[in-house]
């Protein structure tokens, strides 16, 4: 006689990748359903992750390690271990129930899938203004959350922390993500063509400056979320970064933190050929 | 004086953009942008040609740079990239299985 174990599932779709999250712990499922509300999907999942929950524990400060083990990828940090087979899409995650561990697993998984598809996750706020997506990247404290807070009501906030960028035939698209920063608020589940990437700096007034191509690539690479020690993927990522810089205007946006910065953004004229 | 031989590490990714070579180490994500002269040395780093010969044929002749100065600069460049695992250096020719090409 077999004893069945009840499994609950919800499918979370960020960008074009639907991930089924399966657990036998109903409370955990409820918690992650709330966390990723707005990103639930009825799509056939591309990836299925089964969860094996351990006891409660703190969020780990350890570095993430992402490496290949045969055909599988292994992700490890103090508070989670995950094994994922990219061919079947199936994976097993052993973690404590803290949601930050799950956020990290999802970010790693998305970064791997996106990199292979010519996209990336970027440390950046992003928002849709007049049908165009703008990305705002920079070091911690540069103003990602500030820009998001200053956005007028007509602007759709995609995220204040982690932007999802993928290629399409005309250039690149930015999707909303549930990965929140200081705003502690998930982005909208929306998508728009990327009109520009701004690297933020706070200053006494608002101005937009060109960045040389190599500097644009250097800054972009520094802010892309990427964990794997894998030459093939790094090559792919570098090619993607160069392609992005060739197709999308990348600028330095110095801004004084008040709402007028959004006039500067709204008035930005896209110049598709980079300096 | 012993010769120096250089080759590109197999752990790096490289890409040309707008005339500049971008090089990244996949193991620690260090990122470098090479100028024209450095790119010429980088591209000639085949593990078989001595650095002195690379400097003579790829740097002095193409960029009209003083030989002694070019050699000093090249040695500094090679030392820096080798410390980051991007170039491999030896006093013997280095057998290579695959030197990554920039596209």
Residue of B nearest to A220 (CA): B31
**What is the predicted pLDDT for the residue at A267?**
86
Using the 3D structure, point to which of A67, A97, A116 is the last residue of a domain.
A116
**What is the predicted pLDDT for the residue at A4?**
62
The pLDDT of residue B102 is above 70: no
Q: Both A51 and A187 in a single domain?
A: no
Whether residue B64 lies inside any domain: the answer is yes
Q: Both A112 and A185 in a single domain?
A: no
Whether residue B50 lies inside any domain: the answer is yes
Which positions in chain B touch A226 (Cβ < 8 Å)? 29
**What is the predicted pLDDT for the residue at A1?**
44
Give the model confidence (pLDDT) of B57-95 as tens digits. Answer: 989 988 888 889 999 999 999 999 899 888 999 999 998
Q: Give the confidence band of B29 by pLDDT, cuts at 50, 70, 90.
A: confident
**What is the predicted pLDDT for the residue at A3?**
56
Higher pLDDT among residues B103 and A133, named by residue = A133
Q: Both A92 and A158 in a single domain?
A: no
- What is the distance in angstroms between the Cα of B46 and the nearest Cα belonging to chain A? 19
Give the model confidence (pLDDT) of A80-116 as tens digits. Answer: 999 999 999 999 999 988 888 899 999 999 999 999 9
Write the residue in B11, B24, B27 that is nearest to A238 by C-beta.
B24
> How many Cβ atoms sit within 10 Å of the Cβ of residue A46?
14
How many domains in chain A?
A: 2
Extract the tokens encoding A15.
Answer: 């960008």
Give the model confidence (pLDDT) of A236-257 as tens digits. Answer: 999 999 999 999 999 999 999 9
Which positions in chain A touch B99 (Cβ < 8 Å)? none
Using the 3D structure, point to which of A88, A116, A144 is the last residue of a domain.
A116
Whether residue A272 lies inside any domain: the answer is no
- Full domain range(s) for residue A244: 120-266
**What is the predicted pLDDT for the residue at A275?**
44
Cα–Cα nearest to A106, from A29, A162, A43, A172: A162
- Full domain range(s) for residue B37: 5-90
Q: A159: domain CATH number?
A: 3.40.50
**What is the distance between the alpha carbons of residues A268 and A32, in angstroms, rounded to a whole number?**
38
Residue numbers in chain A where pLDDT is lower than 50: 1-2, 272-275
Residue B13 to residue A237, Cβ atoms within 8 A: yes
- H helix runs in chain A, sequence order: 26-35, 99-116, 144-150, 213-223, 231-247, 261-266
- Yes or no: say if B14 and B22 are a contact pair by the CB < 8 Å rule: yes
Whether residue B72 lies inside any domain: the answer is yes
**What is the predicted pLDDT for the residue at B6?**
96
Cβ of residue B98 closer than 8 Å to a chain A Cβ: no
The pLDDT of residue B99 is above 90: no
Write the residue in B10, B12, B15 that is nearest to A242 by C-beta.
B15
Helix (H, G, I), strand (E, B) or coil at A143: coil
Whether residue A1 lies inside any domain: the answer is no
Q: How far is CA A125 from CA A170, A176, A217, in A?
A: 22, 10, 18
Whether residue A271 lies inside any domain: the answer is no
Whether residue B95 lies inside any domain: the answer is no
How many domains in chain B?
A: 1
Whether residue A78 lies inside any domain: the answer is yes
**What is the predicted pLDDT for the residue at A66?**
92
Q: What is the ipTM of this complex?
A: 0.73
Whether residue A47 lies inside any domain: the answer is yes
Extract the tokens encoding A250.
Answer: 């990348």
Residue B33 to residue A235, Cβ atoms within 8 A: no
The DSSP symbol for B92 reads S
Residues 60-79 of B with CB under 8 A from A: none
Q: Both A52 and A133 in a single domain?
A: no
Cα–Cα nearest to A28, from A45, A48, A50: A50
Q: How far is CA A241 from CA A47, A70, A102, A130, A217, in A?
A: 25, 28, 27, 25, 6
Q: B29: domain CATH number?
A: 1.10.10.1150
- Yes or no: say if A39 and A178 are a contact pair by the CB < 8 Å rule: yes
| CA torsion through residues A91, A96, A98, A104, sign | negative
To the nearest whole percent, how much of chain B has pLDDT over 90?
A: 50
Q: Give the confidence band of B103 by pLDDT, cuts at 50, 70, 90.
A: low
**What is the distance between the alpha carbons of residues A234 and B59, in angstroms, rounded to a whole number?**
29
Extract the tokens encoding B57.
Answer: 């044929």
Residues 6+ apart with CB under 8 A from A238: A217, A221, B13, B14, B15, B22, B24
Higher pLDDT among residues A186 and B52, named by residue = B52
């Amino acid at each position: 006689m077999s004893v069945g174990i009840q499994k609950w599932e919800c499918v979370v779709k960020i960008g074009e990748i639907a991930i089924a999250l399966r657990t036998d712990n109903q409370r955990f499922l409820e918690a992650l359903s709330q966390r990723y509300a707005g990103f639930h999907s009825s799509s056939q999942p591309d990836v299925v992750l089964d969860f094996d929950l351990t006891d409660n524990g703190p969020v780990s400060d350890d570095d993430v390690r992402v490496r290949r083990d045969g055909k599988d990828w292994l992700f490890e940090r103090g508070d989670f271990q995950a094994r994922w087979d990219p061919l079947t899409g199936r994976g097993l995650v052993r973690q404590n129930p803290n949601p930050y561990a799950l956020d990290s697993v999802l970010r790693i998984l998305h970064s791997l899938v996106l990199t292979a598809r010519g996209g990336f996750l970027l440390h950046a706020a992003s928002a849709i203004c007049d049908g165009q997506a703008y990305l705002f990247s920079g070091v911690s404290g540069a103003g990602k959350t500030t820009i998001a807070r200053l956005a007028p009501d007509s602007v759709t906030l995609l995220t204040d922390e982690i932007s999802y960028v993928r290629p399409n035939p005309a250039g690149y698209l930015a999707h909303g993500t549930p990965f929140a920063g200081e705003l502690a608020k998930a982005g909208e589940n929306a998508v728009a063509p990327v009109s520009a990437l701004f690297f933020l700096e706070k200053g006494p007034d608002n101005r937009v400056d060109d960045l040389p191509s190599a500097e644009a690539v250097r800054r972009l690479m520094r802010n892309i979320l990427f964990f794997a020690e894998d030459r093939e993927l790094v090559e792919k990522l570098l090619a993607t970064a160069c392609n992005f810089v060739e197709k999308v205007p990348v600028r330095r946006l110095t801004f004084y933190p008040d709402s007028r910065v959004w006039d500067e953004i709204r008035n930005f004229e896209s110049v598709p050929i980079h300096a | 004086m012993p010769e120096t031989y250089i080759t590109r590490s197999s752990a790096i990714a490289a890409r040309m953009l707008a005339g500049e070579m971008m090089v990244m180490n996949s193991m620690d994500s260090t990122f470098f942008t090479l100028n024209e002269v450095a790119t010429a040395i980088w591209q000639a780093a085949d593990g078989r040609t001595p650095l002195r010969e690379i400097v003579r044929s790829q740097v002095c002749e193409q960029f009209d740079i003083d030989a002694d100065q070019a050699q000093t600069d090249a040695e500094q460049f090679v030392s820096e990239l080798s410390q980051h695992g991007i170039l491999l250096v030896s006093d013997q020719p280095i057998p290579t299985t695959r030197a990554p090409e920039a596209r």
